[in-house]
């Protein structure tokens, strides 16, 4: 028993107050999912611009760009559809990530304001499922690319006997490359996001150089690109109209996870508005050029999710390695590579119906219900008197709206995996993301108007503070910091929040002392 007690003690995540003294780790709280400290707010607008140019080029985006051609659209029609959807995605990311950019909280914590501290576990789990699959897809595709590279350098790799079977997306040589790729990926996980700026800049230069070289090489082989540039669509009428609708909204739906969890990356911004240019401009343009992707938007975001599910024992660093371990286990033990090869593009785009409802609820809660006003300390407590506690930690309004939102499109989800459905259902699926988002947005607003919640702002004013610094951040004690004349004080709309939260914290301290 002593060994188990010692092990348990070592597994508990250690957190400290702003004066450096250790503090008790709560069920919903640890330092890695607290608002980002001032010293870690290192990403500027240049960083976000560079990040999306370095993070959006991947094999999946190349697939998306060329899929429109396979159904009969011209090259320019495919490009316009893809770019239009990405522009909308960039705008939604900037809007949905605003709370993360201002209050510096991750997606799982932001969900607690609308879903409740326990209810948020469901939305977090939803996004975690997508992150796991997406991470596995990146790993397999990375292994395939690495296999091509190594075979070019070492042609003898082609002679390695294949023991994987005919249905596997990876050969035995490919599995060797997967192992190499996985270990390299794990090595980068030791780098925290605030310190990744230099790596982002290096990736931009490296990828631009490689892309220009590859473009020149392919043009030299083809001799001319005039035929492709002047090609026309081979479909017409109603069929073409529906294909345009499909690929326009698919450009948005393919990045649905980025829209939902935008707060995860925006929380590292030096200033709240530093993310706008990168999200609205750089993201769609970067996807237009198809640059590199994989580390931050899967492992690190999955790390936020896992850490929020069990914050007493897991911080983000531990969680990202659990994510990497799940990735390897899934690839090796469940033959997921064969599923990835056949179904992953379909699954990733079809899962939009679940994520669109989550995004709609978050947007409505922050902009219409809260008017930009969040009491951050109450997002980390299970105290029944806290405004985000709802009924036993769950906001059943959000769950009801979620079910209503995914209902109209749910039939289309199994259809994308092979289940037969009428043509009308198939076509309704094309617009399932905007429909799900709008239904969730309006439904949540109406539910809160009919059944008001604690903390709902009933005026049309805007109540965001200009800046936010967490109570546990030592920078709050630094009277000289001015953020270049940006106001960091708690004034006006959140003055009451601070007093109310301090009362809750004092009550909890008394209860722990008595226990």
pLDDT beyond 60 at 382: yes
Place of tokens 């002047």: 230
The pLDDT score that the predictor gives to residue 414 is 73
Could you give the C-alpha distances from 277 to 47, 257, 372, in angstroms and in order?
A: 10, 20, 20
Q: What is the mean pLDDT of the chain?
A: 76
Place domain 1-31+42-160+171-221+247-386+397-484 in its CATH homologous superfamily.
Answer: Hydantoin permease (1.10.4160.10)
SS3 54: helix
Task: Please name which of 317, 296, 263, 258 lies closest in space to residue 135, comparing C-alpha atoms.
Answer: 296
Which pair of tokens denotes residue 132? 């796991």
Contact 223, 56 (CB under 8 A): no
Whether 427 and 348 have beta carbons less than 8 Å apart is answered as no
Place of tokens 């092979």: 418
How far is it, in rounded angstroms, from Cα 75 to Cα 288? 13
55-73 residue pLDDT tens: 666 566 666 666 777 788 8
Rounded Cα–Cα distance for residues 374 and 376 (Å)? 6
Q: Distance between CA atoms of 269 and 3, rounded to whole angstroms?
A: 43
**What whole-number distance in Å separates Cα of residue 117 and Cα of residue 123?**
11
Backbone phi, psi, residue 452, to 5°: -55, 145
pLDDT one-digit tens code per residue, 500-509: 344 444 444 5
Average pLDDT over residues 341-351: 57
Task: Specify the DSSP class assigned to residue 269.
Answer: B
- pLDDT at residue 320 in the model: 60
Q: What is the model's pLDDT at position 396?
A: 95
Residues near 34 by Cβ (< 8 Å), separated by ≥ 6?
A: 15, 105, 380, 470, 472
Is this model's pTM higher than 0.95 or not? Answer: no
Q: Considering only CA atoms, which of 486, 427, 455, 445 is closest in space to residue 370?
A: 455
Q: How far apart are CA 488 and CA 491, in angstroms?
A: 9
Q: Residue written as tokens 């896992």?
A: 306
What confidence score (pLDDT) does residue 305 get? 57
Report the C-alpha gap between 357 and 462 in whole angstroms.
24
Out of 148-162, 195-209, 360-374, which region has the weakest mean confidence (pLDDT)? Answer: 195-209
At residue 236, the pLDDT reads 82
What is d(CA 49, CA 201) in angstroms, rounded to the nearest whole number?
10
Q: Which tokens is 94 given?
A: 């900037």
pLDDT in tens, 289-300: 543 333 444 555
| Secondary structure (3-state) at 116 | coil
CA 480 – CA 496 distance, rounded (Å) = 25
Which pLDDT tens digit goes with each residue over 316-330?
656 665 655 555 555
Report the candidate in 454, 45, 449, 110 with the shortest Cα–Cα distance to residue 275: 45
pLDDT exceeds cutoff 90 at 27: no
- pLDDT at residue 383 tops 60: yes
* 107-115 helix and 301-309 helix, angle to the nearest 10 degrees: 50
Q: Do 462 and 372 form a contact (C-beta atoms < 8 A)?
A: yes
Phi, psi of 43 (to 5 degrees): -85, 125
Closest of 382, 379, 381 to residue 370, by C-alpha: 379
**What is the torsional sign of CA 280, 363, 38, 297?**
negative
Name the β-bridge partners of 16.
Answer: 22
Q: What is the domain partition of the chain in residue ranges?
A: 1-31+42-160+171-221+247-386+397-484, 489-514
Q: Which of 22-36, 225-239, 311-325, 489-503 has the lowest mean pLDDT?
A: 489-503
pLDDT digits (tens, 9 = 90+) for 96-122: 999 999 999 999 999 999 999 999 999
């Amino acid at each position: 028993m002593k060994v188990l007690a010692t092990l348990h003690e070592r597994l508990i995540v250690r957190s400290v107050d702003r004066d450096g003294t250790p503090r008790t780790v709560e069920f919903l709280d640890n330092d890695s999912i607290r608002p980002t400290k001032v010293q870690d707010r290192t990403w500027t607008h240049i960083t976000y611009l560079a990040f999306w140019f370095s993070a959006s080029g991947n094999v999946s985006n190349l697939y998306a760009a060329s899929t429109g051609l396979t159904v009969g659209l011209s090259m320019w029609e495919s490009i316009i559809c893809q770019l239009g959807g990405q522009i909308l995605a960039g705008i939604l990311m900037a809007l949905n990530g605003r709370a993360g950019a201002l209050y510096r909280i991750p997606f799982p914590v932001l969900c607690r304001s609308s879903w409740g501290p326990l209810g948020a576990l469901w939305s977090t789990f939803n996004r975690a499922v997508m992150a796991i699959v997406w991470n596995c897809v990146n790993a397999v595709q990375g292994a395939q690319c690495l296999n091509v590279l190594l075979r070019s350098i070492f042609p003898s790799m082609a002679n390695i006997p294949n023991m994987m079977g005919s249905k596997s997306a990876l050969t035995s040589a490919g599995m060797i490359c997967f192992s190499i790729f996985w270990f390299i990926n794990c090595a980068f996980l030791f780098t925290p996001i605030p310190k990744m700026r230099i790596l982002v800049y290096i990736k931009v230069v490296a990828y631009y150089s490689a892309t220009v070289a590859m473009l020149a090489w392919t043009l030299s082989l083809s001799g001319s690109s005039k035929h492709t540039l002047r090609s026309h669509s081979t479909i017409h009428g109603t069929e073409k109209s529906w294909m345009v609708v499909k690929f326009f909204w698919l450009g948005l739906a393919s990045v649905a996870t980025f829209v939902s969890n935008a707060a995860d990356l925006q929380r590292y911004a030096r200033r709240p508005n530093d993310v706008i240019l990168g999200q609205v401009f750089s993201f769609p343009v970067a996807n237009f050029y198809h640059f590199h992707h994989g580390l931050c938007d899967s492992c690190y975001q999955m790390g936020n999710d896992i850490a929020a599910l069990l914050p007493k024992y897991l911080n983000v660093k531990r969680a990202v390695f659990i994510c990497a371990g799940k990735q390897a286990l899934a690839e090796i033990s469940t033959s997921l590579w064969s599923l990835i090869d056949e179904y992953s593009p379909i699954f990733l785009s079809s899962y939009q119906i679940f994520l669109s409802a989550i995004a709609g609820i978050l947007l409505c809660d922050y902009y219409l219900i809260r008017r930009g006003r969040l009491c951050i300390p109450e997002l980390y407590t299970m105290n029944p008197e806290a405004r985000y506690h709802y009924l036993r930690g769950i906001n059943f309004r959000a769950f009801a709206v979620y079910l209503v939102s995914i209902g109209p499109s749910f039939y289309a989800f199994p259809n994308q995996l092979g289940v037969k459905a009428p043509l009308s259902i198939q076509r309704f699926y094309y617009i399932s993301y905007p429909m799900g988002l709008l239904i969730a947005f309006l439904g949540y607003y109406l539910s809160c108007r009919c059944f008001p919640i604690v903390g709902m702002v009933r005026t049309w004013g805007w109540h965001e503070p200009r800046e936010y610094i967490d109570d546990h951040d030592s920078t709050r004690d630094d009277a000289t910091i001015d953020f270049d004349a940006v106001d960091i004080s708690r004034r006006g709309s959140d003055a009451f929040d601070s007093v109310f939260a301090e009362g809750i914290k004092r009550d909890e301290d008394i209860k722990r002392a008595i226990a």
